[in-house]
Chain A
Amino acid sequence: MSELLLVVTIGGERVALPAAAVESVVELDALIPVPRAPAHVAGLSALRSRVLTVIDCMRSLELGTTDCSDGIREAAVVELDGHHYALIVDLVEDVVEATSEPSPIRAAMGDGWERVSKGMVETEQGPLLLVDIGAIVSGTERQAA
């Protein structure tokens, strides 16, 4: 089992994103807000002449709001159903190799985490929560639907 994982910090928590799904890691500067869009959509940003829909992971997980006022934020760019998204995270750390298949976490997590969890994976750096990118992007909407 050699799936590569991108280790990021969201809301102070170290989690893993499947590295294969992440196109690049960028630093976002200007954000164009999208009025009346769901709260977890932080806005739009341009990356090499592409429009990125910027997702605030904190909001998506109902952990609070990332403060975007201080300028540059790190984000992971992913593609989902033909659309490009930038997921705002606190910090992008490293790429590690998964040493196990994801396994269910039996302890109770927070509501937000529960929704996006794809289980626990073992890595050299200890167990990490594997996050479902689709669930982060759709935010709380999916639950409502």
Chain B
Amino acid sequence: MDDLISEFIAECREMLEALGGEVVAWEAAPEDRARLDSIFRFVHTVKGNCGFFDFPRLEALSHSAEDALAEVRAGRRHADPALVSAVLAVIDRIAEMIAALDAGEELPAGDDSALIHALRQTPEAPPAPVAATVAEAQAKTVAAPRTIRLSVELLDRLMSGVSDMVLARNELARRLRETTGDVAVDGAFERLSSIIADMRDAITRTRMQRIENLFVALPRMVRDLSAELGKQVLVDIDGGDVELDREMIEMIRDPLTHIIRNSVDHGIETPAERLKAGKREIGILTVAARQSGNQILIDIHDDGRGINGKKLVDKAVTAGVVERSEASALSPREQLALIFEAGLSTAQEVTAISGRGVGMDVVRSNIERIGGIVEVDSTLGEGTRMTLRVPLTLTIIPALTVSVAGQHFAIPRSAIDEIVRANGNSVTLEKLGGAGVATIRGRRVPQIALADVLGLESNLSDDERTFVVLRPAGSDVYALAVDRIHDHEELVVKPAAPAVMATGLYAGTTLADDGSPILLFDPAGLAEVGGVKLEAHERAARIVEAPAAPAACDTPVLLFRGLDGSRRAMRLAIVDRIEEVASAAIKPGAGQLRVQVGETILPLAGVNGDFPAEKVRLFRLNDGVAEIGYAFREVVDLSAIGQEVIQAECPGEVSGVTLIAGEPAEIVDTHWLFANFAGPQANQPDQLVCRLPADDPWIQNMLRPIVEAAGYRVVSDADEVDADIAIVSEPAAAKKTAAARVIRVRAEPDPASRKDDSIYRYDRAALLTALKAGAGGKG
């Protein structure tokens, strides 16, 4: 008997979940027979079972609902809002009772006559506000795949069993590596490995649920809300078939509900206001889910009144969240982000629906706790879009392992913004009143040393450390100094014991590939324990960004390894971007190697070794006129070169050697590259727009090394020095330049159409001659 009851309860719950949306959809389209039928079927099932189990209250309720619906089915009655409300009320009451039964309680005694009475009434009530759904409800008619019902607990056990199996496999792999390799054993192990991997995928999938489970309740919720508020809202749901971890669905249920409540309550206006604003009476609320890589994106968009950033700032200033001086410097995006601050709400008054103190700050912290991000975008008068980004699953986390004082830790990769060396030229570290402030390429970010946060002794000096720039809260960054960076690993993370979690530093524990336990950090917790005030810093940081131009002697370069393994540096300014192409895209053509990137074909340089098997990475170099590709193996670092460059003996691909991070690196001669590879193509119209050599990227990045190699000191036109020679690009020739001699360079190779003394800019010999002549002129 107990089994039967629990079966009945489970069945009812499932039907109830699916029903919320159905009833509302039915109200919007009362003639929709399919929906009416499914509601009818539910009450009918309940009624049938109740007689059997002897639950008189349930029976009476479901019986009267069935009667009323039967009338509608027979066409004797119209599904007016009053009836829908009454049916909803009955279904709610049934749900309450089922919940009570499920909890093992006795059915409470109570009076349902009011509800039953409401069902029988057919009053001429004024039409209530309508909410409807345009969900992909048609999909529901498709036959469901065969399923069985399993307890979630069993699935969890399976999942944890498989996780253990993965860890045991890792340990076995390690042991096998230590002992001498027997090919047969290795082969068998490989096979086992791949089976386990498949199985893990499958089990992970069993924990996946369609996000529909979360969405089905929304139309009903919006309907009730809008009815209460006297608004008209149309819900449009999309992407219900996106799957994500069951646990994750539970975690985003509350934040999502909250955002939708906010949208209906504060976002969408009353019909009168909407008409006045020239909009349709019915507000549209769109909820859409989609998968993007390892993340699920949920967009909640309303076409309501939008968020008034200025008002928000005023509120924030009044509440003391931001200083008035800071407030004026906020970008519109930052203004909007203020809604996530505790204690702020733009709502004029606190209503029963939202604005009850449970604010957006709670939404944000809940989403961030599961490694997600919430973003807001809003146009005043046109609407608001909230985007939740959450990871697919909680259990397997890609992480970076780092070490401090010899101990390894893991940092979730999703929170890592970038990794920089503390001694790199683009990074400086200052101590202000004991607090660390790192300047990374002109951006000031708060810096904490992991060793200090953890109270460990690290014998590395500040300079020798590596900064991991973390972005735990969507837009706020801080730099964490660690001793060493190790590896990327996919970790099966489990919650740690409460005493460990209570430190606030960790998100869980796991076993590394070598079988030793490893702690996974919670980046937000680290910042908090380390005393970083995230919001305040980020705003202050933005202000210093602009003036931090690199010093004259520091040219930013990309340090990379060429195909032949050589360590080389490429001037950053001419690298347009880095592309990855299939090896098949590289073919000889018109006398040289060319690579196809998308729709364009570029000459390919840097081919001094074997291509990797499948993918080739290349820099796209751009001098403003021509583009060439430069193949390489890997990028090592972002760095800068100073003055001490040893020039090469003869012109070639490498212009000189310099020390970068303590090791020699060859500097790629970009001038030579373009002269040799891009020459014939460089006949497009000149696109240079800079008029002065100081901000002429071509001159700065390509000509300058040659000029320097010829023994000149380079000054910009702002310097009050008598120049012996000046070089200007051809279009800028009209401008007066104070110098004894002026060399004009032009971009077109063909001099026939020209009558002036300009030099083709890749004519190295002519340039050098002119430079020598300038030097001679002085002597």
Footprint of B on A, CB under 8 Å?
30, 32-38, 40-41, 44-46, 48-53, 81, 83, 85, 137-139, 141
Could you tell me if A36 and B529 are in contact, using CB atoms closer than 8 angstroms?
yes
Among the listed A51, A81, A137, which residue makes an inter-chain contact with B511, where contact means beta carbons less than 8 Å apart? Answer: A51
B680 in the interface (beta carbon within 8 A): no
Q: Can you list 8 pairs linking A and B with CB atoms under 8 Å apart?
A: A34-B503, A35-B456, A36-B455, A45-B517, A50-B167, A53-B496, A53-B497, A81-B498
A137 to B499, alpha carbons, bound, how many Å?
A: 8
Could you tell me if B499 and A32 are in contact, using CB atoms closer than 8 angstroms?
no
Among the listed B168, B498, B502, B505, which residue makes an inter-chain contact with A83, where contact means beta carbons less than 8 Å apart? Answer: B498
Could you tell me if A36 and B509 are in contact, using CB atoms closer than 8 angstroms?
no
Could you tell me if A44 and B498 are in contact, using CB atoms closer than 8 angstroms?
no
A41 to B519, alpha carbons, bound, how many Å?
A: 14
Query: In the complex, which residues 483-539 of chain B have their Cβ closer than 8 Å to any Cβ of chain A?
Result: 494-500, 502-503, 505-506, 509-511, 515-519, 529
The 10 closest A-B pairs by CB, nearest first: A35-B454, A49-B167, A44-B517, A53-B497, A83-B497, A49-B168, A51-B509, A51-B517, A36-B503, A32-B517
Query: In the complex, which residues 87-117 of chain B have their Cβ closer than 8 Å to any Cβ of chain A?
Result: none
Contact flag A38-B455 (CB < 8 Å), given A32-B407, A53-B497 = no
B164 in the interface (beta carbon within 8 A): yes
Could you tell me if B519 and A44 are in contact, using CB atoms closer than 8 angstroms?
yes
A50 to B509, alpha carbons, bound, how many Å?
A: 10
B171 in the interface (beta carbon within 8 A): yes
Could you tell me if A46 and B497 are in contact, using CB atoms closer than 8 angstroms?
no
Could you tell me if B505 and A32 are in contact, using CB atoms closer than 8 angstroms?
no
With A35-B503, A38-B499, A48-B168 given, can you name 12 additional A-B contacts, CB distance below 8 Å? A32-B517, A36-B455, A41-B497, A44-B500, A44-B509, A44-B519, A50-B164, A50-B167, A51-B494, A51-B509, A51-B511, A138-B499
Could you tell me if A139 and B499 are in contact, using CB atoms closer than 8 angstroms?
yes
Q: How far apart are A96's CB and chain B's nearest CB, in angstroms? A: 29
Q: How far apart are A117's CB and chain B's nearest CB, in angstroms? A: 21
Could you tell me if A85 and B497 are in contact, using CB atoms closer than 8 angstroms?
yes
A45 to B517, alpha carbons, bound, how many Å?
A: 6
* Beta-carbon nearest neighbor of B496 in chain A: A53
Footprint of A on B, CB under 8 Å?
164, 167-168, 170-171, 407, 453-456, 494-500, 502-503, 505-506, 509-511, 515-519, 529
A71 to B83, alpha carbons, bound, how many Å?
A: 75
* Beta-carbon nearest neighbor of B165 in chain A: A49
Among the listed A34, A52, A141, which residue makes an inter-chain contact with B519, where contact means beta carbons less than 8 Å apart? Answer: A34
Among the listed A30, A41, A48, A50, which residue makes an inter-chain contact with B500, where contact means beta carbons less than 8 Å apart? Answer: A41
* Beta-carbon nearest neighbor of B508 in chain A: A51
Could you tell me if B510 and A141 are in contact, using CB atoms closer than 8 angstroms?
no
In the bound complex, residues from chain A placing their C-beta under 8 Å from that of B455 are: 35-36
A44 to B509, alpha carbons, bound, how many Å?
A: 9
A41 to B497, alpha carbons, bound, how many Å?
A: 10
In the bound complex, residues from chain B placing their C-beta under 8 Å from that of A139 are: 499
Q: How far apart are B517's CB and chain A's nearest CB, in angstroms? A: 4
A51 to B410, alpha carbons, bound, how many Å?
A: 15
Could you tell me if A46 and B511 are in contact, using CB atoms closer than 8 angstroms?
yes
In the bound complex, residues from chain A placing their C-beta under 8 Å from that of B496 are: 51, 53, 83
* Beta-carbon nearest neighbor of A138 in chain B: B499
Q: How far apart are B193's CB and chain A's nearest CB, in angstroms? A: 15
Could you tell me if A37 and B517 are in contact, using CB atoms closer than 8 angstroms?
no
A21 to B516, alpha carbons, bound, how many Å?
A: 25
Q: How far apart are B384's CB and chain A's nearest CB, in angstroms? A: 40
* Beta-carbon nearest neighbor of B451 in chain A: A35
In the bound complex, residues from chain B placing their C-beta under 8 Å from that of A40 are: 499
In the bound complex, residues from chain B placing their C-beta under 8 Å from that of A46 are: 511, 515-517
Could you tell me if B168 and A41 are in contact, using CB atoms closer than 8 angstroms?
no
A53 to B501, alpha carbons, bound, how many Å?
A: 11
In the bound complex, residues from chain A placing their C-beta under 8 Å from that of B503 are: 34-37
Could you tell me if A53 and B168 are in contact, using CB atoms closer than 8 angstroms?
no
In the bound complex, residues from chain B placing their C-beta under 8 Å from that of A33 are: 407
In the bound complex, residues from chain A placing their C-beta under 8 Å from that of B518 are: 32
Could you tell me if A141 and B499 are in contact, using CB atoms closer than 8 angstroms?
yes
A38 to B498, alpha carbons, bound, how many Å?
A: 11
A37 to B168, alpha carbons, bound, how many Å?
A: 27
A51 to B496, alpha carbons, bound, how many Å?
A: 9
In the bound complex, residues from chain B placing their C-beta under 8 Å from that of A41 are: 497, 499-500
A131 to B421, alpha carbons, bound, how many Å?
A: 51
Residue among A37, A38, A52, A139 with most chain B CB within 10 A:
A37
Q: How far apart are B175's CB and chain A's nearest CB, in angstroms? A: 12
A46 to B494, alpha carbons, bound, how many Å?
A: 13
Could you tell me if A34 and B500 are in contact, using CB atoms closer than 8 angstroms?
yes
In the bound complex, residues from chain A placing their C-beta under 8 Å from that of B529 are: 36
In the bound complex, residues from chain B placing their C-beta under 8 Å from that of A30 are: 516
In the bound complex, residues from chain B placing their C-beta under 8 Å from that of A51 are: 494, 496, 509-511, 517
In the bound complex, residues from chain A placing their C-beta under 8 Å from that of B502 are: 37-38, 141
A37 to B519, alpha carbons, bound, how many Å?
A: 12
* Beta-carbon nearest neighbor of B505 in chain A: A36
A15 to B38, alpha carbons, bound, how many Å?
A: 64
A34 to B503, alpha carbons, bound, how many Å?
A: 10
Residue among B456, B500, B505 with most chain A CB within 10 A:
B500
Residue among A40, A46, A81, A139 with most chain B CB within 10 A:
A46
A45 to B170, alpha carbons, bound, how many Å?
A: 16
A30 to B454, alpha carbons, bound, how many Å?
A: 20
In the bound complex, residues from chain A placing their C-beta under 8 Å from that of B500 are: 34, 37, 41, 44, 53
Among the listed B170, B505, B515, which residue makes an inter-chain contact with A35, where contact means beta carbons less than 8 Å apart? Answer: B505
Q: How far apart are A27's CB and chain B's nearest CB, in angstroms? A: 16
* Beta-carbon nearest neighbor of B405 in chain A: A35
Could you tell me if B454 and A37 are in contact, using CB atoms closer than 8 angstroms?
no
In the bound complex, residues from chain A placing their C-beta under 8 Å from that of B509 are: 44, 51
A95 to B454, alpha carbons, bound, how many Å?
A: 40
Residue among A40, A41, A50 with most chain B CB within 10 A:
A50
Q: How far apart are B394's CB and chain A's nearest CB, in angstroms? A: 15
Q: How far apart are A133's CB and chain B's nearest CB, in angstroms? A: 13
